[in-house]
Amino acid sequence: MPNEQTPFEKYLAGEPLNEELAALQSGAEPAAVNPFPTSPSHALAVNGDPERELTNTERLDLKEMRLSPGWPVMQRLFQKLFAIHHKSAITLSQYSPLENRDKIAEEWAYVVMYRRAIDEFNKLATAEVEELEKEAR
């Protein structure tokens, strides 16, 4: 092996250190990597008993999820779902309210149920993260 360069010497010379870096240097797109890989234990936990307590690993996942950019998006979708039903209830209430009273009552009941479900979901998520932090102390 006459005159073979060390990785540091290759780095200083601007040469790629491996095939992946060589491909990137030649303009290839980087391979997509899932930043949230699903392990077999996660799959079992999701499909397990919904009434069991969350594990600390699941609580940590929840905490990280709440800090991710996707959490506000999910919250916005919850609010959008609520707004759809709220607008529907208002629209039904404006025209022939006595004729459509059962449908109107049903739609307003859904509005209340969606609001309650969203609030309870967020309170539950907060409580689970607080439990994780309490155990960490």
Q: pLDDT tens, position by position, for the chain (137 residues)? A: 557 888 788 878 888 878 888 888 888 777 766 666 666 555 555 667 888 898 899 999 999 999 999 999 999 999 999 999 999 999 999 988 888 889 999 999 999 999 999 999 999 999 999 999 988 88
Residues 31, 33, 39, 42: what is their CA dihedral angle, to the nearest 10 degrees? -150
Per DSSP, helices labelled H in 54-100 are 56-67, 70-94
CA 48 to chain centre: 19
CB 89 within 8 A of CB 108: yes
What is the reported pTM? 0.63
CB 135 within 8 A of CB 72: no
